């Protein structure tokens, strides 16, 4: 079962930063290195998004401050935790007053300068000598920074031993954090992206937390790439995004075009309709925070790919190979940034 550490945050809006400074008040030098690697930084952001996705919490990423009095609520960085002696590859420390956290809750994740990080066969970033991923440690320690203590449930993220059995949030973790902060109420949903590095080379997208957990735990060739963008609840201003499985290539096609959906159903029996995957905004939507994903097609493989703006520019210049054809805007979705609430 879940347990509580004692303090909670007085507000459901919580700021956090990648630590850039050490202060004597923090115990001299708790951070040994900045988290400046893009992959590690993306996984930290995904871990914050995961907690925000299940509870009524609004995380805001801010720049770290040189002014100790103006620090973020939570600061995260690498630390030399000496796991050979301490058996710890993550540590959260804090001060509290009147059952509420003080600013500058310190989250330290083991510095890869001391314990190497490597990509396993499924693309997960693991610590050498441990069956524990960097993402797991970040997820676990952020749970402590929210007020959760260790769980007695072995499959829970908040269990004190992290391994293959607890790669993501479980019902126990969710029950604990929602008891503290309430359930998520925002209509935006994070879209999680995977890359099949070992078999098909496809990118796969899902908003389903259970499907995400199943892929992480059971499909080792799929590399988790984090929350890439967000989608809204169904409304008059949205369209269905339909999902097909190519039973020959074992890849997926996503489309919001009803005519394309109907054509596939009538003429391509090898593509099995799997239903509505999620919602997208109507093509003529121009609201702030929305963007169109570019859709590309590789005729030599029969694959489609949805790309954010920067990625699309690279594909057009051959970064993913010479065969990709730009089909134009594919889906209109919501940017994940510091101001977005994710359910």
Q: Which domains does the chain have, with CATH numbers?
A: 13-181 (3.40.390.10), 189-334 (no CATH)
Q: How far is CA 90 from CA 41, 144, 160, 206, in A?
A: 16, 10, 10, 29
Q: What is the pLDDT of residues 231-242, one digit of tens each?
A: 988 888 889 999
Looking at 103-112, 206-215, 262-271, which range is the least confident one?
A: 206-215
Q: What is the pLDDT of residues 312-339, one digit of tens each?
A: 888 998 988 899 999 999 999 987 754 4
- Cβ contact 271:246 at 8 Å: yes
Using the structure block, give the residue that is written with the tokens 């899902």: 206
Q: Comparing 274 with 183, which gets the higher pLDDT?
A: 274
Average pLDDT, stretch 165-172?
87
The share of the chain scoring above pLDDT 70, in percent, equals 94
- What local confidence, expressed as pLDDT, does residue 286 receive? 57
Which of 138-152, 155-169, 235-249 is most confident? 138-152
The token pair at 325 is: 């054809």
> What is the DSSP secondary structure assignment for residue 89, as one 8-state letter?
S
How many Å apart are CA 117 and CA 142, to the nearest integer? 20
Q: What is the pLDDT of residues 49-86, one digit of tens each?
A: 888 878 899 889 999 998 888 899 999 999 999 988 88
- What local confidence, expressed as pLDDT, does residue 39 receive? 84
- Cβ contact 46:2 at 8 Å: no
Q: How far is CA 93 from CA 2, 26, 41, 46, 173, in A?
A: 19, 9, 20, 21, 20
Average pLDDT, stretch 112-140?
89
How many Å apart are CA 209 and CA 215, to the nearest integer? 10
Average pLDDT, stretch 98-115?
95
With residue 329 as reference, give the H or E element that holds it.
strand 325-334
Q: To the nearest whole number, what is the mean pLDDT of the chain?
A: 89
The 3-state DSSP class for residue 85 equals helix
Q: What is the pLDDT of residues 1-54, one digit of tens each?
A: 899 989 999 999 999 999 998 888 777 678 999 999 888 988 898 888 888 878
């Amino acid at each position: 079962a879940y347990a509580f550490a004692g303090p909670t945050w007085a507000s459901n809006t919580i700021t956090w930063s990648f630590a850039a400074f050490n202060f004597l008040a923090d115990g001299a030098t708790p951070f040994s290195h900045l988290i400046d690697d893009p992959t590690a930084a993306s996984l930290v952001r995904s871990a914050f998004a995961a907690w925000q996705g299940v509870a009524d919490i609004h995380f805001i990423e801010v720049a770290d401050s040189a002014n100790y009095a103006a620090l973020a609520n939570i600061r995260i960085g690498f630390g030399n935790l000496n796991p050979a002696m301490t058996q710890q590859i993550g540590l959260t420390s804090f001060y509290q007053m009147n059952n509420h956290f003080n600013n500058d809750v310190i989250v330290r994740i083991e510095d890869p300068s001391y314990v190497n990080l490597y990509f396993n066969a499924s693309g997960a970033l693991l610590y050498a000598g441990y069956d524990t991923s960097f993402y797991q440690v970040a997820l676990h320690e952020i749970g402590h920074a929210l007020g959760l203590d260790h769980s007695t449930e072995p499959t829970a993220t908040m269990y004190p031993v992290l391994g293959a059995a607890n790669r993501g949030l479980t019902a126990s973790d969710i029950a604990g954090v929602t008891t503290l902060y309430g359930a998520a109420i925002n209509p935006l949903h994070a879209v999680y992206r995977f890359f099949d590095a070992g078999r098909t080379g496809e990118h796969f997208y899902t908003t389903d937390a259970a499907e995400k957990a199943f892929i992480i735990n059971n499909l080792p060739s799929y590399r988790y790439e984090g929350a890439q963008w967000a989608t809204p609840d169904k409304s008059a201003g949205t369209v269905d995004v339909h999902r097909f499985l190519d039973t020959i290539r074992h890849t997926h096609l996503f489309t919001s075009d009803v005519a394309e959906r109907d054509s596939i159903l009538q003429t391509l029996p090898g593509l099995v309709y799997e239903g509505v995957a999620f919602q997208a905004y109507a093509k003529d939507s121009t609201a702030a925070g929305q963007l169109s994903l570019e859709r590309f097609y590789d005729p030599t493989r029969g694959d489609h790919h949805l790309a954010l703006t920067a990625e699309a520019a690279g594909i057009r210049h051959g970064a993913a190979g010479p065969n990709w054809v730009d089909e134009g805007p594919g889906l209109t979705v919501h940017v994940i940034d510091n101001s977005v609430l994710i359910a």
